Structure 1
Amino acid sequence: MEDAHSVDTDATGEDPLHDLTDDQLYHLVEETIRANEVLAAETNMFEKFLNRVEPRDTGTGSLASTPGLGIRDEKGHNRKRSKSKSHTLDRSMKLNAEQKCDIAQREIEELREDIERMKEESEKVLDTYKAIMEEADMRLSEMKKESYEFERDIVKGSVNHRTNKVIAEKCMRYFEDKLRARDTLIEKLRLKNSTLKVQKKKLMLQLKQKEEMGEVLHEVDFNQLKIENQQYLEKIDERNQDLLRLKLMAGNTLQVLNSYKKKLHTLTMEAERLESEISSRQELQTRIQNETQLVEVERAKAEQINKRLRKQLANFKVPDVMDYVAEKASLYDIQKKVKSWERKVDIAEMALRTHRKTWNQMQLTGHMNAATNWSALAMEV
C-alpha cells in the first residue's frame, strides 16, 4: 500500500489522500486492515505449505521459483527491487484462485491427517488411562475386601473376650492363608504366561514357514500396495467429489422441489378459492336471472299500465275555465246546503231528546198513579 501511494505521489506530484474526508480515510484504513489480515492468513498458510513441501519436492531453489514469493539472496533476505519492476513482478507472481484452492485443499487434508493422528494418539492415551483406572479400581476393591475381611476375621473375630487381645494363632493362620492364596494366583498367572509364550512361539514358527514358502509380503509388495492404495484413495476422493456434487445437486433440486410444492400448494388453495367463488357467483347469477325474470314480468305489467295511461292521457281533454268556475260555485252551494242540513239535523236531534225525556217522565208519573189507584182499591176491598 505504501509503495502504491508513493508511486501515485511521484507520478502526480501531490498526495490524493488529502482530498479524502475523515470517514473515507477511516473506511479506507478498515478495508486495508481487513485486506492485510486476509493476506496474512494466506501468507501463513502458504509458508506452512512451503515448509512441509520443500524438503520433499522442491529442494533449495523452490522459494525463489515459487509464485507469490519475492526474490531472496543467499542469506534468505529479500533483495530490493526498483519500483517499476516490483509492481509488475507482484502482479505476475501472485497466486491465482486455482493455486490458492489447491494449497488450501492440501492444508485441509494435512490438518485432517493431523487431527486423525492426534485422535488416535489421544484414544491410545485414553485407553491407557482407562486401563490404569480399571486396575486402580480393582486394586481398591481388593483392598477394601481384604480390609473388611481382616477387620471381620482378626480385629473382631479373633479377640479373646477375657483378655480383650487378638489371638496370635488366628492372625498367623489368616496371613498364611492370604499368602497361600497369593501363591496360587501367581502360579495361575505363570501357567497362563507360559501358555501365551507357547502360542507366541507357534505363531512365530508359522510366520517363518510362510516366509520360507514366499507367502510373506516384501517391501516391493508393500510399495505396490501403497501405490494401489493411493490410486484407490484418489478414486475415492473423485467419488467423494462426485458424491458431494450430486448431494449439492440433490439439495438444489430439493429446494426447487420445495419451492414448486409451495407454489403448487398456493395455486391449489387459490384454485379452491376460485372454485368456491365461481360457485357462489353462479348461484348469484341464477338468483339474479330469477329476479330478472320477475322484474321482466313486472316491467311488462308496468308497461301495459303505462300504455293504458298514455292512451288515457292522449284522449284526455281539459274542460273550459267557465265550466270549472261554475262547477266550483255549485260545489260551494252544495257545501253550504250540507252545512245547513247538518245544523237542522242537530236541532232535530236536540228536540227529539227533549221529547223523549218528557215522554219518559209522563210514563213514570202514569205508572205511579196506577200503582196508587191499585193500592187504594185493594184497601177498600
Structure 2
Amino acid sequence: MTTELSQMSHDELSALLDEQHSLHAELKAQGLALDITRGKPSPRQLDLSRELLSMRVPRHAADGQDVRNYGGAKGLPEIREIFAELLGVDVDHLLAADNSSLSIMHDLLTFAMLHRLPGAQAPWFGQNIKFIAPVPGYDRHFAICEHLGIEMIPVEMGEHGPDMDEVERLAADPSVKGMWVVPMYANPNGVIYDEETARRLVSMKAAPDFRIWWDNAYALHHLTDAEPAPLPILQMAQEAGNPDRIFMLASTSKITHAGDGVAFLASSTGNLDWYLKHASVRSIGPDKVNQLRHAHYLKDAGGVRELMRRHRALLAPKFQIVDSVLKRRLDGTGIARWTHPAGGYFVTLDVLDGTASRVVALAKEAGIALTPAGSSHPLHDDPHDRTIRLAPSFPTEGELQAAMDGVATCVLLAAAEKLLG
C-alpha cells in the first residue's frame, strides 16, 4: 500500500475497512493460537544447550569448594571470570547467583526500602521516593516499582538513550532515588546507550543514595555481525567520583536455559558488601552445582560468544520476517512505524495514536496474543495508546509469518475505524 490513510477519501477508507473486516473474519475462522507476548527463547534455542541437562559435574570447584554444600555467597570464581570478561568488569566486583537477575533487582530495591543503602540517611520505606522510567521500557522493571508503591516518572527515549536534559533535571531532586536502564538493545525498542549518555548518567548531580539499575540483559544478544562491547560503566562511575551509582545486572537466561541459568550482579565494593550482608539472611549461598555446570559447558568467554552466534542464526531470520511483513502490509500507510533492532529480543511497533488497545483486542479475537497495550509504560498507561511490543523469538517461522500478517490486518482495521469514526 502506497497511499497514506489520512489522504484517503471517505469512500476509499470505507472500502479499506470492508476489506480488512473480511481479512479479519478469515483470521478468526482459522482458529489460530499464536503467542508473541514475551521474549522467550524457542525450543530450538534451548536445545542449543541441551548438554547441560546430562553432563557430569565435579564435586569440587577450582578453589576447592565442595559445590554440593552451603556457602560461597559470591558465587564460583570459574563462572565469574567468564562473565567478568564478557561484561567488562573486574571479577572482584562481580557476584554470581541463581537463575534470575530479576530476583536480584527485586531484592536490591526491597533491601533499599528496608535497610539503609551506602550514602543514604535512612531506609527508603516511608519516604515519597521516585524512580526515573525511560519509555517505552520493560514492564517487569515497572512492575517491581508498582508492587512496592514507588512512583515512576516517564522520560521519553531517543536514538541513544533517554532525554538526558530531562533526566538530569529530575535526578537533581533528592526524592528521586533510582532509574531503570537497559543499555544494550533496550527493551523494547532496541536502543543502544552511547558513551556520552552513559557518562552523563554517572556524572550528573543526584542524591548520594541514587542508584541506576543497569540491566545488561541483552549485552551479548546481537542480531548482526557487529558485536559491540558493553560500556565499562563501573569504571566510568568510578572516574566520575560516583562509584556506588551503578547496580549492573545480567544473566544466562537467554544464553543457556532460563530455568537453570546463572544471574550476575556487578557493583562497587561498598554496594556488594551491603547486598551480601542482607542477602546472607535470605540464602546460605547460591546453586554452585549449576554454576560449575555452566562454567564447564561454556568453558570461556569465547565459548559464550560462539554459542550466541548460534542463537543469532535462529533469531535473525525471525526479525527479518517481522520487518518484511510489516513493510509489505504497512509501508507508506502513514499509520505505523517500527524499529529495526541490531540485537535483543523485541521490535517496537507504533501504530496510529489511540488504536494500540484496539489492535491488541482485534488480534486476540483472531487468536493472536500480543503484549497488552500500555505494558511499555509505568502503570500500563501509554498516554498516546500507540506502542505495541512484538516478541518474535518463540514461534516457528511459519507461525510468526501468520501472526505478523494478522497483526498488520488488525493495525489497518483499527486505523480505518479510527479515521472514519
- The TM-score normalised by the length of structure 2 is 0.16
- The TM-score normalised by the length of structure 1 is 0.17
Q: Name which structure has the greater RCO, CA cutoff 8 Å, separation 6+.
A: 2
Larger strand percent: 2
